[in-house]
Structure 1
Amino acid sequence: MKQYIKTDEWNIIEEGFHPEDQLLSESIFSIGNGHMGQRANFEEQYSGESLQGSYMAGVYYTDKTKVGWWKNGYPEYFAKVLNAANWIGINVIIDGETLDLAKCEVKEFRRVLNMKDGYLQRTLIARLSGQKEIRIDAKRFVSMAVKEAGLIRYSVTPLNFDGECLITPYLDGDIKNTDSNYDEKFWEEIYKENSVDGAALTVKTRKLDFHAGSLMKYDILQGGKKIQCSTEPVEKDKYVGCNISLRLKQSEETVLYKYVINVTSRDKARDELIPYGRTRLEEISQKGFDAMLQEHSAAWHKKWKESDIVIEGDLSAQQAIRFNIFQLNQTYTGEDARLNIGPKGFTGEKYGGSTYWDTEAYCLPFYLSTADQKISRNLLIYRYKQLEKARENAAKLGFSKGALYPMVTMNGEECHNEWEITFEEIHRNGAIAYAVYNYVNYTGDWDYLKEYGLKVLLELSRFWEERVNFSESKNSYVILGVTGPNEYENNVNNNWYTNRIASWTLEYTLEVISWMKEKDYPAYKNLEDKSGLRETEISKWMDIIKRMYYPVDEERNIFLQQDGYLDKEQCLVKELKKENLPLNQHWSWDRILRSCFIKQADVLQGLYFLQDKYDLDTLRRNFNFYEPRTVHESSLSPCIHAILAAKLKDKDKAYEMYLKTARLDLDNYNNDTEDGCHITSMAGTWMSVVEGFGGMRVVKEKLHFDPIIPDTWKSFSFKIKFRESLLKVTITKAKVAIKNENGNAVTLSVYGNDYSLDKEIVILVQ
């Protein structure tokens, strides 16, 4: 665990220069706006350890899969979001010496991510040769008001000398991904232009033919006034910039304003990239940095008004939850149904920026409650539009019908190349089905089921029908050769969660069919005819539901993670020596697979999804058995444990797990934040507060609250959108207050009692 970030309710603050933590800071201080994102790289040259990262949403590359032994069904490629043109670059040379924080003495350094207003600011004092000291002030943001716009204010102030300065703003498309095969570069130059006050660059991907255009303008000010300078355009392969020669005066600030537009062929025709970019660039440069920042901050204030969580009495927890909400809101805005959410968002390259089951299992609840309904609907439509690809994925693995959604994807094709994931981690289909249920149950948007949802459910159910097989010895249906959510177990039989979510998917599909027959029989009949659904399929699904096999331990009265789990030597995490953790960085894979230790919630994941189907005693027995065996080496794990612990009124365990998920990246719990923040698990942090401590559930389309409050907190409050209302829930040790800030009256349950909420209700805690 690494703690060097100062606690503050609205800011992430790094004081002092920590080059050994530069990769970590680059992840934590990242900024984005849903269209693009930028790691917290320095604008000026830096020869120290760094992961340069500028990313454009939806622009990806099909990097050829490399495996030692090819197997039928393997994907041909691994899709990855590309490291795009570096648009932030500003080289600085003072009296012939390049400013490089890895080579000069850094006397003072402060970096601040202002989450309330949505910008990154950095201030430092560097000592160059000859005892020359300069002050650098840099502020940048990617606009929430103009999605293609990135703006930088960069200033240089000599503190004890006069001197000559060469400052070079540039655009550099000669970029590669750190994980590219054989250091392959993915971009080719198409067009560039340069002038004394700006430049433009267009590059295209070597595969798939994505085009990306970047355009820049700049202004130079000294003494607060715009000046004319001696300039010289600079061009190299996939690079355009401008050398600006300046005379620096002691104590006088020289400011460079850099305005950039980044646009891709996903949004504009290729021949329109530069003309469109010029128009937008002129608009933002005419408005100026301060006016653009004001618009950007206003957009952030609106987001905070609808999604903020306030915690009193625990500054560390307050900072953490806002950091998580901030990263979620700048990663995905939901305006483009072609986009989804990568596990690292715009903060790094790991996992390729592709879509995982994380979106449906963890992210959807956040957007359901904090954004317009169309946002979460778009997440589901993303999967609906890839249904045909999901059918193809199932066919590639030898299935004659049904759909298998990919574990990792950009366009619906599977692009994950580890066999135990690609072929066996089929529980991801269950997360898609659950997301359909979760969305409809929360929003009441039954029209979605008629238009899209039931079509998806039918194909998922057909997959499960073919994937199970009947065991004569057990007189039951079984599912063999799978990997459950606990990826520290591969190729197991009858993973409880997989069996249960498969059966539940069939149950829910039949429930929706029954509803649609009753409410809109012509629509159902049309779907039945087009899909070829027959009563024989429905009968088979009912038989599978009735006769599905679930492994249990009768003595402990718990669900077994899979057949044979108790054959393993049973140890608890507390018995491990600290130097063995995390296991995945210290143990061989063979040793991990033979151990009883659990990477992330597995049985407990199923109990979280289907908690309203199980009583508290069942939940408690399973939680008490599995939680002590879980090492939480997946970022997706602590939040599920926090929610279930809160439901069991185990405040200490719930709070312990909350801190582990909330400060996972800020404190680098798992020693793996250098390559990007864990964006999708951040949604789980929000769930830990709202569904965990807030006890929020939607049962049969009605809101329920059963809150608890950690002992260290004085109060906490959160806002949720439910149907047409915006509700603010405030919880203290003495009372629960729920205010309807807009919308119609809502019927809800608090501590098991029903209330009609028109304006505000206050319930005293017994």
Structure 2
Amino acid sequence: MRIVETGYQKEKTEFFGSKFCIGNGYYGYRGTLEEYTKDQLVACTLSEIFDDSGNGWREPVNVPNGLKCTLLCDGEELSVLTKEPVEHEQALDLKGGFHERRSVFVSKSGKRIEIKTERFASLKDLHLLVMKYAVIVDEKAELVWKSHFDCDIWDINGPHFYEQKQGEIHGIDVVASTTIQNKKKAAVGQFAVIREGEGKLLRENGEITVTSVLEKGKTLEIVKYVSVCKETDCVLPEVAAADICLDASEKGYQYWREEQEKLWKERYEHLGIEIIGDEEAQLAVYYSCYLLLCSAPFHTDTVAIPARGLSGQVYKGAMFWDTEIYMLPMFAFCEPEVARNLMNYRVKNLAGALKKAAEYDYQGAFFPWESQENGEDGCTHYNLTDIFTGRKMRTYFRDKQIHISADVVYGLWKYMMITGDYSLLFEGGAETILECARFFYSYSYYKKGKHRYEFLDVTGADEYHERINNDAYTNYMIDLSLKTALHVIEYLKKENPAYFEELLKKIDFPDAEQIIGEMAVELYLPQPNADGVIEQFDGYFKEEDLTIEELYSRIIKPNEYLGSPTGLAVHTQILKQADVVLLLSLLGDQFSSEIKEKNWKYYEPRTEHGSSLSTCIYALLAAQIGMTDWAYKYLMRAGRIDLDGDYKLYLGDLYIGGTHPAANGGTWMVTVQGFGGLTPLEEGVSIIPHLPEKWTQLSYCFYYGTGRYRVSITSEKITLEPLEGEHILKVTTETGTYTCKPTEKLEILRGDTK
């Protein structure tokens, strides 16, 4: 599958940089052209290393660009920045994560010169970035190709290096950079070879030059190996960068390319998604999964997946609650080791959550809104600027979104349910869950007259309404957290009572079971009203009820922020994103299909979808209750968000461009858990599909416990094929409960059910 754009479109430079990005979890490289500079937002963004240059805005670092190069033909520079190509194509081949570019220029003397490049972020060696650069001429021409480190880096809030040193190690050019705040070191190496054609290669002062007199119809092909190393896993990044370039050149381009295809093929096989009858949806789903995999930490549990992946420094490169709610499901079902890394990142950073709770005079664990590599909150209290006055606005993302701690517990619960891996409990998971429960007890308000615990002054999933009381999503997720804590207590008391007693002593929470149990019984959970609708928060129904079009008609300036403290949506029923609908899609076993449908229909026309986290959730719930036409519409909005660029670039005056991992993960959720009907249960899985009309068959793969399975769904039957493991799987469908044995394919007739 290839994604292609034809014709040079200068106005889409920023968008294409995100659309055609490549990455391997260690770094991300934007989909920019080889002659581009920081003015065109070139970036090689690292995971794990963050820096504050002194302005209070901490973000991941971008390292020097090792792929910068220029081409001259008979002394004339051939670049889209200075000359319009007569033909141009930019593409992304999903088969191996290959970024491709083809440009044809006509020189002043009338010669036709074709440039073809290919690059990829290696999965075989995460430190390696490989590029092939080919030139073909229709007449004899003198070519000069130059490439060097571009140390003039694009940063949103930089610069981030106080020192950059260029040198040579083992005959390899290396630039070592040291961050300002924590003196962290990263190094980039470069090495080039002529792979095809005749030419002379010269290295001097960090610049590689290839000169060639190329005959008519001949090709000059250069391969450049760039290494990216950092002290998080390399003791001496400069030396490692040099060694990796040498190793890469010895193995050769074809070796790395073949390994790349093989490893991407394995990842796609773990997904196993096949949609027959709808090529557009197949592409959108696979592209979404590709983007999510590009940023996934296969190699470490020191970070999770940033809100904009590794497509740049947006949102400070921080990890949000998006991870547990939108991204974790795909990894738990398809790449369990990555799912463990994601959850272990939270567990390892419990100290940051304890510190944050104490900062606001609470007990327990208050997980960050914008979590960075140290587990501390990168969010400030004044996070946005009023575009009318230019003044910073006090926002409450940081200190009122208490649902983050509940989302973390939800993630741990889901991970354990799907994988059957409870070992994480003994490695800090149990402590994390109990500390989250203690935080909720510390934050709660007990209303004696009504004999119930309430949560006041919070912000829910809908960010347009801050400092509200009894947000439905928040309260129900806290309820899940408390019940999970009680289950964990029972499990520990049974499996390892000595560990449990020692844990209670360690965290000084001897009455944990009593406190959590009482609170779970008396926690206030908003119920559906006479019309079957759950009020999003206390007083929501009293807010102005208007259409989104009416709200938009009141906008004075583009990029106005519609939320708190003074935005147009604050005192209306207009939502930024799914809130009650999110609750119903995640905890659906607590509500009837009738309640789900009534709430979907009430909140859908009132939701602006001002966040990429929204459309996929409306699609998910719609699919779960059989509203397949609506579900498909919203699936395609979510799945194509990074293909079409239909998203907000600014939040007030804050740039928020880049890829959208939450929507990418949500697209998988809609496809597999919505249309495919896959739901994990305490024992086995439920598969109750609702296929869109045009889908004649949907297939996907998943892990459950120690087993791995492939599911194929048509209107007539569900076929379940065991692929790995000796696990006996209990499967519940719309027609009954069945047993899938490890050596037998299970076929379940569906009748005429779609």
TM-score normalized with structure 2 length: 0.92
Contact 1:46 1:102 in 2 (8 A): no
Task: State yes or no: 1:352 paired with 2:343.
Answer: no
Query: Residue 574 of structure 1: CA displacement?
Result: 7.2
**Structure 1 stretch displaced more, 309-318 or 610-619:** 610-619
1:44-59 to structure 2, matched below 5 A, reads 44-45=35-36, 50-59=40-49
- The structure with higher relative contact order (CA 8 Å, sep 6+) is 1
Secondary structure of the 2:302 match is coil
Q: 2:558, 2:733 → 1: CA distance? A: 42
Query: Residue 639 of structure 1: CA displacement?
Result: 1.6
Q: 2:231, 2:301 → 1: CA distance? A: 16
Find the counterpart in structure 1 of residue 291 from structure 2. 327
1:152-171 to structure 2, matched below 5 A, reads 152-159=131-138, 161-171=139-149
Summarize the Cα distance change of 1:689–1:33 in structure 2 as closer, same or farther, 3 Å threshold. Answer: same
Summarize the Cα distance change of 1:583–1:481 in structure 2 as closer, same or farther, 3 Å threshold. Answer: farther
Contact 1:444 1:701 in 2 (8 A): no
Q: 2:637, 2:265 → 1: CA distance? A: 28
Secondary structure of the 1:92 match is strand
Instruction: List runs of 5+ in structure 1 lacking aligned partners.
Output: 1-9, 66-76, 235-239
Secondary structure of the 2:459 match is coil
Q: Among 493, 517, 521, which residue is 2:497 paired with?
A: 521
Task: State yes or no: 1:625 paired with 2:602.
Answer: yes
Find the counterpart in structure 2 of residue 341 from structure 1. 305
Query: Residue 586 of structure 1: CA displacement?
Result: 8.0
Find the counterpart in structure 1 of residue 531 from structure 2. 556
Q: 1:204, 1:576 → 2: CA distance? A: 48
Summarize the Cα distance change of 1:527–1:707 in structure 2 as closer, same or farther, 3 Å threshold. Answer: same
Secondary structure of the 1:121 match is strand
Q: Among 608, 621, 637, which residue is 2:585 paired with?
A: 608
Find the counterpart in structure 2 of residue 199 from structure 1. 173
Task: State yes or no: 1:150 paired with 2:132.
Answer: no
Query: Residue 278 of structure 1: CA displacement?
Result: 2.5
Find the counterpart in structure 2 of residue 656 from structure 1. 633
Query: Residue 247 of structure 1: CA displacement?
Result: 2.6
Task: State yes or no: 1:173 paired with 2:151.
Answer: yes
Residue identity opposite 1:28 in structure 2: K
**Structure 1 stretch displaced more, 742-751 or 253-262:** 742-751
Task: State yes or no: 1:261 paired with 2:227.
Answer: yes
Find the counterpart in structure 1 of residue 254 from structure 2. 290
Summarize the Cα distance change of 1:156–1:606 in structure 2 as closer, same or farther, 3 Å threshold. Answer: same
Q: Among 338, 341, 350, which residue is 1:375 paired with?
A: 338
1:232-631 to structure 2, matched below 5 A, reads 233-234=204-205, 240-269=206-235, 272-371=236-335, 373-399=336-362, 401-410=363-372, 411-417=374-380, 418=383, 419-472=395-448, 474-535=450-511, 537-552=512-527, 554-573=529-548, 590-631=567-608
Residue identity opposite 2:121 in structure 1: V
Summarize the Cα distance change of 1:377–1:132 in structure 2 as closer, same or farther, 3 Å threshold. Answer: same
> Over aligned residue pairs, what C-alpha RMSD do you find?
2.4
Query: Residue 249 of structure 1: CA displacement?
Result: 3.2
Q: 2:550, 2:89 → 1: CA distance? A: 41
Query: Residue 359 of structure 1: CA displacement?
Result: 0.8
Residue identity opposite 1:322 in structure 2: Y
Per-residue deviation, residues 200-227 of structure 1 (Å, max 9, x unmatched): 1111111211111111111125xx3464
Per-residue deviation, residues 445-503 of structure 1 (Å, max 9, x unmatched): 22322332210111101110110112345443221211111001111122111122223
Per-residue deviation, residues 384-437 of structure 1 (Å, max 9, x unmatched): 1111111111111122x2111111121111111133101111111110011111
Q: Among 698, 703, 709, which residue is 1:716 paired with?
A: 698
Summarize the Cα distance change of 1:708–1:251 in structure 2 as closer, same or farther, 3 Å threshold. Answer: same
Q: 2:422, 2:66 → 1: CA distance? A: 45
Q: Among 223, 228, 250, which residue is 2:200 paired with?
A: 228
Q: Among 32, 35, 45, which residue is 2:23 paired with?
A: 32
Find the counterpart in structure 2 of residue 60 from structure 1. 50
Query: Residue 245 of structure 1: CA displacement?
Result: 3.2
Q: 2:733, 2:36 → 1: CA distance? A: 57
Per-residue deviation, residues 147-172 of structure 1 (Å, max 9, x unmatched): 1111111022233x433332111122
Find the counterpart in structure 2 of residue 69 from structure 1. none
Contact 1:647 1:692 in 2 (8 A): yes
Contact 1:510 1:538 in 2 (8 A): yes
Find the counterpart in structure 2 of residue 637 from structure 1. 614
Query: Residue 103 of structure 1: CA displacement?
Result: 2.4
Summarize the Cα distance change of 1:163–1:218 in structure 2 as closer, same or farther, 3 Å threshold. Answer: same
Q: 1:366, 1:580 → 2: CA distance? A: 38
Contact 1:343 1:678 in 2 (8 A): yes
Contact 1:483 1:491 in 2 (8 A): yes
Q: 1:311, 1:250 → 2: CA distance? A: 46
Per-residue deviation, residues 570-605 of structure 1 (Å, max 9, x unmatched): 234477779979996586852121221111111122
Contact 1:748 1:757 in 2 (8 A): yes
Task: State yes or no: 1:21 paired with 2:12.
Answer: yes
Q: 1:131, 1:226 → 2: CA distance? A: 23
TM-score normalized with structure 1 length: 0.90
Residue identity opposite 1:726 in structure 2: R
Contact 1:196 1:242 in 2 (8 A): no
Task: State yes or no: 1:761 paired with 2:746.
Answer: yes
Q: 1:385, 1:282 → 2: CA distance? A: 36
Query: Residue 296 of structure 1: CA displacement?
Result: 1.3
Task: State yes or no: 1:697 paired with 2:679.
Answer: yes
Q: 1:196, 1:243 → 2: CA distance? A: 19
Secondary structure of the 1:592 match is coil
Contact 1:402 1:460 in 2 (8 A): yes
Q: 2:557, 2:342 → 1: CA distance? A: 33
Query: Residue 749 of structure 1: CA displacement?
Result: 1.5
Q: 2:252, 2:638 → 1: CA distance? A: 39
Task: State yes or no: 1:78 paired with 2:85.
Answer: no
**Structure 1 stretch displaced more, 161-170 or 106-115:** 161-170
Contact 1:176 1:186 in 2 (8 A): no
Secondary structure of the 1:493 match is coil
Secondary structure of the 1:110 match is strand
Query: Residue 341 of structure 1: CA displacement?
Result: 0.4
Contact 1:194 1:200 in 2 (8 A): yes
Per-residue deviation, residues 638-678 of structure 1 (Å, max 9, x unmatched): 12211211121111111111111111111222244983110
Residue identity opposite 2:492 in structure 1: M
Summarize the Cα distance change of 1:582–1:361 in structure 2 as closer, same or farther, 3 Å threshold. Answer: farther
Residue identity opposite 1:117 in structure 2: G
* Same amino acid, percent of matched pairs: 26
Secondary structure of the 2:502 match is helix
Q: 1:101, 1:587 → 2: CA distance? A: 39
Q: 1:587, 1:494 → 2: CA distance? A: 22
Q: 2:747, 2:169 → 1: CA distance? A: 64
Per-residue deviation, residues 624-648 of structure 1 (Å, max 9, x unmatched): 2212211212111112211211121
Task: State yes or no: 1:109 paired with 2:88.
Answer: yes
Contact 2:297 2:304 in 1 (8 A): no
Secondary structure of the 1:193 match is strand
Instruction: List runs of 5+ in structure 2 lacking aligned partners.
Output: 384-394, 651-655
Q: 2:502, 2:735 → 1: CA distance? A: 42
Summarize the Cα distance change of 1:575–1:315 in structure 2 as closer, same or farther, 3 Å threshold. Answer: farther
Contact 2:199 2:211 in 1 (8 A): no
Secondary structure of the 1:666 match is helix
Secondary structure of the 1:652 match is helix
Summarize the Cα distance change of 1:274–1:554 in structure 2 as closer, same or farther, 3 Å threshold. Answer: closer
